[in-house]
Structure 1
Amino acid sequence: MKTISSLVENYIKSKPFLLSSISQGIINLTSLARVMMPDLERELGKDIKQGAVVMSLKRLSEELDFRINHKITRVLKNIGEITVRSSLVDYAFSVSETLLENQAKLIAEINKNHDLFYTSSRGVNESNIIVSSSVSEIVDELFKDEKKTHRVDNLSSITVKLPQVNVSTPGVFYYIFQRLAWEGVIIHEVISTTNEFTVIVHDNQIDIAFKVIKDLKNIEE
């Protein structure tokens, strides 16, 4: 059975940025209710009182304030070490029978210098390799017979250590990437492990991206 409360919740959940703004108390609920009412009335098939929509929004905002802000804030306040690396190159290759063998050769070369940056991820059809630009010539040579789908230079990375509770707290990554999106940061790649994630951005956006992530540790509950 459709109710005003369920319709309001579904409406808000379909608009992620609106969802977060309500949880932070930065939207006038009366004005929002006025905007929502035509859609809600069409969905419910009858007229709706604006006051009923406002009350549903208030109840939802209180629930979101606890569910989103408090739980996520506890995780973000315990963000660990933040590491920034620059002068990176991102390669993408089509998956082949020889790709892993060539990656093993590359890792052997990189292990000779522990100051170098290396990370990779593999999908169904392609694999990405991100390395320090100083070894780009080695990559070009080792993978010369592979099918390269793209190469992007002038990249930087931000690696963030998260507390272990991040795996049982919904919305942590959404909240972080939302803040980056609000500041116009274009994320080139994302690589993650259980308690650590790395975002790759262009060099000209590394300063603002670092500030956004660093400031997450100071958000108020």
Structure 2
Amino acid sequence: MKTIASCVEDIIASQPFIEEALNQQIINFSALANNLQEPISKMLRKDIKTGAIMMALRRYNQPLNTNNSLRLKKVLNNLGDITVKSGLSDFTFKNSKTLTQCHTRVLEHIDTKDHIYYAFTRGIFESNIIVSSSEREHVLNEFKDEVQIGLQENLSSISINLPKGNSKVVGLYYHIFKKLAWEGVTLYEVISTTNEFTVLVEDHIVDKAFSVIKHLKD
């Protein structure tokens, strides 16, 4: 049977920013109760007073997994080097039978250029190529017969080395995304390997994004 408390839990679980604000005690319970009155009344199909919602909010306990919390803290405290690369372009092409051949030719071209940044991600219907903008014309030439969906320039990447065992820790990426979102950092692209995590942002916010990531250990 649905109760006011269970409705509050469902809403908060679907809106992590509210949960974080409650946990840090920086939210106005009265204002939040007023905001939740209509949706909770609809969920329970009867008029619910804000006082009852406020009581449920004050009694709300954020679900905690002590062991996982300790693992998460350990991983964050052991984050490795942070590397920033600027001057990047992001191409998006429609997948085709010949796309991989184009990708191979570009790789052969930049094989001896250690300073060139290159990342290739293949999705179900489209593929992305992130490359140093100095190679922009070469990529356009090699992929000239492919269907180009998009191109975004003036990008920077921020890569973080993650400690081993990070894939076993619940909420690691959520914690990173949450911190970036709280600071209003819009992510253009995300790339992840087993022990490396990279975000792509527009050049004008790279300093803010770097600062957020640098202080993840705090």
TM-score tier (shorter): 0.7 to 0.9
Supply the distance in 1 between the matched residues of 2:129 and 2:32 (Cα, whole angstroms): 45
> Letter of the aligned partner of 1:112 in structure 2?
T
Partners in 2 of 1:72 and 1:24 — Cα distance?
Answer: 18
Partner of 2:115: 115
1:7 aligns with 2:7: yes
Q: What letter corresponds to residue 215 of structure 2 in structure 1? A: D
- Please name the residue that 1:193 is paired with: 193
Alignment CA distance shift 1:102-1:140 (3 Å)? same
Residue 87 of structure 2 is matched in structure 1 by: 87
- Normalised by the length of structure 1, the TM-score is 0.85
Once the two structures are TM-superposed, the CA of residue 163 in structure 1 deviates from its matched residue by: 2.6
Whole-Å Cα distance in 2 between the matches of residues 60 and 83 of structure 1? 40
Structure 2: segments with no counterpart, 5+ residues: none
Tell me the amino acid that sits aligned with residue 215 of structure 1. H
Question: What does residue range 91-170 of structure 1 map to in structure 2 within 5 Å?
Answer: 91-170=91-170
In 2: Cα distance, 1:15 partner to 1:217 partner: 24
Letter in structure 1 aligned against 2:110: I
Residue range with higher mean Cα deviation, 170-179 or 124-133 = 170-179
Q: Which amino acid is 2:63 matched to? A: E
**73-82 or 58-67: bigger deviation:** 58-67
**Structure 1 Cα separation of the partners of residues 23 and 71 of structure 2:** 12
Shift of 1:213: 0.7
Change in CA separation of 1:49 and 1:151 when aligned onto 2, cut-off 3 Å: closer
Provide the aligned C-alpha RMSD in A. Answer: 2.6
- Separation in 2, partners of 1:3, 1:213: 39
Moved more, 64-73 or 51-60: 64-73
Q: Give how far 1:103 is off.
A: 0.7
Post-superposition offset of 1:131: 0.7
Alpha-carbon distance, 1:52 to partner: 5.3
- Cα distance in 1 for partners of 2:34, 2:65 equals 22
Paired position in structure 1 for 2:175:
175
What SS class does the counterpart of residue 90 from structure 2 fall into?
strand
Does the CA-based 8 Å contact 1:23-1:64 persist in structure 2?
no
Cα distance in 2, alignment partners of residues 11 and 81 from structure 1: 37
Show structure 1 runs of 5+ residues with no match: none
Contact 2:19/2:62 (8 A) holds in 1: no
Identity %: 46
Cα distance in structure 2, aligned partners of 1:12 and 1:68: 21
Deviations 1:126-177 (A, max 9, x none): 1110111122222122112111112222111001122334322332222222
Which string of whole-angstrom CA distances, capped at 9 and with x for unpartnered residues, describes residues 171-213 of structure 1?
2222222222232222111111122211111111110110011
Structure 2 residue matching 1:164: 3-state secondary structure? coil
Aligned counterparts of 2:71 and 2:49: Cα–Cα separation in 1: 33
Are the structure 2 counterparts of residues 32 and 70 from structure 1 closer, same or farther at C-alpha, using a change threshold of 3 Å?
farther
What is the number of residues matched between the two proteins? 218
Counterpart amino acid of residue 155 in structure 2: L
- CA distance in structure 2 between the partners assigned to 1:161 and 1:59 by the alignment: 39
Residues 23 and 69 in structure 1, CA contact (< 8 A), matched pair in contact too: no
